[in-house]
Amino acid sequence: MSEFSDAAALVMARCEALGSLSQNPSCLDRRYLTEQHKLANQLTSGWMIEAGMTTWQDSVGNIWGRYTSAVPNAPRLIIGSHLDTVPNGGKYDGMLGVVAPVTLMAMFSGEGRQFPFHIDIVGFCDEEGTRFGTTLLGSRALTGKWQDEWRRLKDEDGISLEDAMKHFGLDFDAINSATIAQTDLLGYLELHIEQGPVLEQENLPVGVVNAIAGAKRFSLTVTGMAGHAGTVPMSMRHDALCASAEMILAVESISQQRPGVVATVGKIENAPNGVNVISGRCQFSLDIRSEEDPLRDAALAEILQKINDIAVLRNVELKIEQTHSAPAVHCDSALQNTLLKGVTEAGIVPKVLASGAGHDAMAMAEICPVAMLFTRCKGGISHHPAESITTEDVAASLAVMHHSLSTLKY
């Protein structure tokens, strides 16, 4: 894969350049509709132009580049990922999947390579949902699934989505123009760091994704009775924190017995939260995922039943609110096979794995076939400054994509 080493080094340098565009001087933090979003689009657009592509920004703030086919009325293949980050994020989550294919187009241009389809590369503006609390805004605009009430979403400074768009130079009421026609759409490919440890454990640079886990999230509120830590007998307590602790252990225990399901309590708040006060109220989150929705929902039903049973036994009130739901997405078999052939052509042992994290491919699956290629990341670490990939693995990813695009049938 030495023929891709120079291009891989350029990809790494470009990820470094994007990684310098942050609204926070102490860490990487680039959110939707900020000055840094605008600068990232401008920088990426410049690389697209260097690669011989035609560029534009759509009405939601996604940046596009087209490697144009000479075939009249050619269909389009979309390749992309996101350019926004989480607060204190890494330099490769999302960015690799935009920068690498742009760099690959420059290679194709240098080879004089033509395709019977347009290759459209997109840098999605908001996948993480950090600023306004709603994920996949960039890709969902392409599917026509934006909701009018989103105009009133506000960030932590009280700025509405509609006003932020206006300040950026966009118009909320023009969002529908970002919707793309499905009639000439071949599919969507996404290159992304794995964000997990599987490829590293198996000593493989890349893997082909077969499914993206569906997720449901809940906010659970347990209400008991606060009291003095020294005067209320143990047998008379309605301790919200102890009840929540038992519920959280039930989440872990049940999910451990359900292969293919992962469940997480990642956030907990306790009140009054005093060292000498029995807990009167506790609120915690529940995130449950599986690449098979029936498996997830069966485990969820068991978890919620157990949580209800604990609430009754401990004589505490329980309120459960669902905050998110996304079905599992299964990648297109034909596009998967194209990537697997590319992996084999690159001299790499093929590995198929599922993604536990959400991606723009989930939104795109509503309108076209999708497939994903994972690149190994050190320690499986992501959403963290320690996020790390190697130039050699980027070269392997470029080789796979080069072989795959060169042999893509439709």
pLDDT of 229 strictly over 70: yes
Residue finishing a domain among 301, 326, 351: 326
- pTM (global) more than 0.85: yes
User: How far is CA 312 from each of CA 117, 220, 250, 270, rounded to the nearest angstrom?
Assistant: 61, 15, 15, 20
pLDDT of 157 strictly over 90: yes
Q: Of 284, 296, 368, 370, whose CA–CA distance to 327 is shortest?
A: 296
d(CA 119, CA 145): 23
Query: Which pLDDT score is estimated for 118?
Result: 97
DSSP characters for 117-173?
A: SEEEEEEES-SS-TTTS-S-HHHHHHTT---GGGGG-B-TTS-BHHHHHHHHT--GG
pLDDT of 26 strictly over 80: yes
Same domain, 156 and 207: yes
d(CA 384, CA 391): 19
Same domain, 243 and 322: yes
d(CA 78, CA 80): 7
Same domain, 399 and 271: no
Same domain, 175 and 298: no
Give burial (CB, 10 Å; 0-12/13-18/19+) of 319: exposed
Same domain, 206 and 77: yes
Same domain, 319 and 334: no
Same domain, 246 and 156: no
Same domain, 206 and 219: no
DSSP characters for 208-273?
A: EEEEE-EEEEEEEEEE-B-EETTTS-GGG-B-HHHHHHHHHHHHHHHHHTSTTEEEE---EEEES-
Which pLDDT band holds residue 1 (cuts at 50, 70, 90)?
A: low
Same domain, 341 and 391: yes
Residue finishing a domain among 326, 359, 393: 326
Given a contact cutoff of 8 angstroms between Cβ atoms, the answer to whether 227 and 301 are in contact is: no
Domain CATH number, residue 45: 3.40.630.10
Same domain, 231 and 360: no
Residue finishing a domain among 311, 326, 341: 326
* Full residue range of the structural domain in which residue 302 is found: 214-326
Number of domains in the chain: 2
Residue showing tokens 């940046």: 63
Same domain, 20 and 164: yes
d(CA 80, CA 102): 9
pLDDT of 179 strictly over 90: yes
Same domain, 373 and 270: no
Strand duo 185-193 + 370-375: pairing:
parallel
Q: Over the stretch 186-208, which tens digit does the pLDDT of each residue have?
A: 999 999 999 999 999 999 999 99
By three-state DSSP, how is residue 207 classified?
strand
Domain CATH number, residue 282: 3.30.70.360
Q: Over the stretch 257-312, which tens digit does the pLDDT of each residue have?
A: 999 999 999 999 999 999 999 999 999 999 999 999 999 999 999 999 999 999 99
d(CA 293, CA 326): 9
